Structure 1
Amino acid sequence: MTKTPTDHQPTRSVLGIPVTSDGYLDLGPLQAKADEKKRERVEEQKKYFDNVRQKSLKKYSEDQELFGKALQRMKEDNEARRNNEIAKAKAEAVNRINEEVERKHGVKSDKTKQLDNAWRDTLKGLI
């Protein structure tokens, strides 16, 4: 059998893959398609991770804001307790000093006089 020359060179192989003029498989278009799919996957992953990162940053920011508010509240509570303790200590000190001065000098303060009168009126009502 003799081969008959053909002027027609096939452009596709049996599998549908393009071939070169020499009859070799032309992998260029396949590589381009594979590269494009890879770029698409990479882009999808990038979008996904950007979305996850944005959510994470938002949550971190909200947590930091909440933590800051909690710290501010603790600071305000501590300052209020401090001021209450100072006021209480001052009142106790003033009362001690007034009592000591009243005992030492035998002179009653207006507050003590009012308290004595209130007790006297209460006792009169009972008798």
Structure 2
Amino acid sequence: MTETSKDNGQQFTGNWVTETYKRAETERKEREEANKQQSKEFFDKMRDKANAEADEIKRLTKQVAEMNYNESKLKREKEIESAKQKAMQQIESEYERKYGINSDKTNGIDQAWSNLLKDL
């Protein structure tokens, strides 16, 4: 072989190694980029799922809080109404004893007793 042939062979070999290295490096970068993209997509899905679950928990918590509030409000209203009725009964009883003024309820009861006794 001539020296030119040797140089061409070495140059070919050197270019082939360099080109192979460049292709390998390019493929490695492409795989790395693909892995990054897959990881990003995976974590985006996980984040979206976690956010959806958190939103559902917030919605349910709010719903429970509203139900508790409504139940407490209803209980309060019933207790207030009961207290009002007791207070009215006490006031009516006091006026009946003190002043001899019968309430409509007492008059109704007295009338019912009178009607019942007449029929006997």
TM-score tier (shorter)? 0.7 to 0.9
- What does the per-residue CA deviation read over 1:93-127, in whole Å, with 9 as the maximum and x for residues that have no partner? 010110011011122112211012223334555x3
What is the deviation of 1:9?
A: 2.8
**Alpha-carbon distance between aligned partners in 1 of 2:69 and 2:75, rounded to the nearest angstrom:** 10
Structure 2 residue 45 is matched with structure 1 residue 43: no
Q: Counterpart of 2:115 in 1: which secondary structure?
A: helix
- So what's the TM-score if we normalise by structure 2? 0.83
Residue 102 in 1 paired to residue 78 in 2? Answer: no
Q: Of residues 38, 47, 54 in structure 1, which corresponds to 2:48?
A: 54
The whole-number CA distance in structure 2 between the counterparts of 1:73 and 1:35 is 56
CA distance in 2, matches of 1:124, 1:30: 116
Counterpart Cα distance in 2 of 1:115 and 1:88:
21
Q: 1:10 to 1:114 in 2, by over 3 A?
A: farther
In the alignment, residue 41 of structure 2 is paired with which amino acid?
K
Q: Deviations over 1:65-106 (max 9, x none)?
A: 111111011111111111110111011001011001101112
Aligned equivalents of 2:11, 2:45: Cα separation in 1: 45
Q: CA RMSD in A?
A: 2.2
Unaligned runs of at least 5 residues, structure 2: none
Indicate how the Cα distance of structure 1 residues 28 and 123 shifts in structure 2: closer, same or farther if over 3 A, else same.
farther
Alignment of 1:23-34 (within 5 A): 25-26=17-18, 27-34=21-28
Report the more deviating stretch, 42-51 or 108-117: 108-117
Letter in 2 for 1:86: I
Which is richer in helix?
2
Q: Structure 1 residues 56-65 or 110-119, which shifts more?
A: 110-119
The yes-or-no answer on 1:9 pairing with 2:3 is no
SS state at 2:14 partner: coil
Could you state the TM-score of these two structures normalised by the residue count of structure 1? Answer: 0.79
